[in-house]
């Protein structure tokens, strides 16, 4: 597995939640060592500042606006249009779980939102994630245009009921929610998600767009356009 993450469908070995922010900050300083790179505390502050300031939400909204514009243009031209959405950090936000963990990605174990730690799978099973507002508006707009909405997520099949309950409670509607098959494991999310998109095209759908927070959500084809949301906390292959 690359970049400190495990295979999709398996528990991570403590992937550093601040990896992306730290890497970007290091790249900005250059390798000559003329300026100090941020330490762990500084990296966490940068992540929190980006999210809490509203810049993260604004960046998500900008991406969603571009996707909406494309749907407005293409949907009337297609007989059986579809849009594919990722779930975590695309449609639903898990930031409360990451925040209490100091922005570390802890997959297994119980979830204590007061003092931590909070295991991500337990948190997802609690079905308390909030919708990312701009994505919810995009999904609703898509359905209003007659575009079929599909969710393809790397969550395990055991979380189907909780995932659908959470999505429904937050106002989403869909044609199908596609989760990892029981016992499924993939080196990259693309190895799972691209074939699932292919299956939709074989059913006659034209996937106008797919949207996600990881490049691996989008890679592999079978969508006319891809839209990448920001994720300042973690990277998954």
Q: Which tokens hold the place of 204?
A: 């006659």
Kindly state the average pLDDT of the residues 203-210: 98
Q: Which of 55-64, 180-189, 214-223 has the lowest mean pLDDT?
A: 180-189
Determine the pLDDT at residue 189: 95
Kindly state the average pLDDT of the residues 90-112: 97
Q: Which of 26-30, 60-64, 145-149, 169-173 has the lowest mean pLDDT?
A: 26-30
In this prediction, residue 35 has a pLDDT band, given cuts at 50, 70 and 90, of low
19-29+37-93+131-228 has CATH 3.90.1170.40 classification: no
* Per-residue pLDDT at 107 exceeds 80: yes
Determine the pLDDT at residue 3: 31
Determine the pLDDT at residue 33: 52
Q: Which of 24-33, 35-44, 152-161, 224-233 has the lowest mean pLDDT?
A: 24-33
Question: pTM, whole model, 2 decimals?
Answer: 0.86
* Per-residue pLDDT at 63 exceeds 60: yes
pLDDT in tens, 141-166: 999 999 999 999 999 999 999 999 99
CA distances, 7 to each of 40, 75, 160 (Å): 25, 35, 20
Please tell me which residue, 182 or 177, carries the higher pLDDT value. 177
The CA angle 73-79-83, to the nearest 5 degrees, is 60
């Amino acid at each position: 597995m690359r970049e400190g993450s495990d295979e999709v469908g398996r528990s991570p070995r403590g992937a550093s939640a601040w990896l992306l922010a730290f890497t970007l900050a290091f790249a900005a300083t250059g390798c000559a060592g003329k300026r100090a790179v941020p330490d762990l505390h500084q990296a966490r502050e940068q992540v929190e500042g980006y999210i809490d300031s509203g810049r993260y939400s604004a960046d998500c909204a900008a991406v969603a606006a571009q996707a909406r514009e494309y749907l407005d243009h293409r949907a009337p031209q297609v007989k059986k249009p579809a849009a594919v959405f990722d779930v975590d950090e695309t449609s639903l936000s898990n930031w409360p779980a990451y925040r209490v963990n100091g922005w570390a990605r802890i997959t297994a174990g119980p979830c204590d939102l007061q003092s931590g730690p909070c295991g991500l799978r337990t948190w997802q099973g609690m079905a308390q994630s909030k919708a990312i507002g701009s994505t919810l508006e995009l999904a609703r707009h898509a359905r209003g245009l007659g575009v079929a909405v599909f969710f393809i997520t790397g969550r395990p099949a055991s979380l189907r009921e909780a995932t659908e309950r959470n999505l429904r409670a937050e106002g989403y509607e869909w044609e199908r929610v596609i989760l990892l098959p029981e016992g499924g494991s993939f080196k990259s999310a693309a190895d799972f998600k691209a074939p699932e998109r292919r299956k939709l095209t074989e059913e006659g759908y034209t996937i106008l767009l797919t949207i996600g927070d990881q490049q691996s959500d989008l890679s592999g084809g079978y969508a006319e356009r891809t839209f990448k949301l920001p994720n300042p906390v973690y990277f998954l292959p």
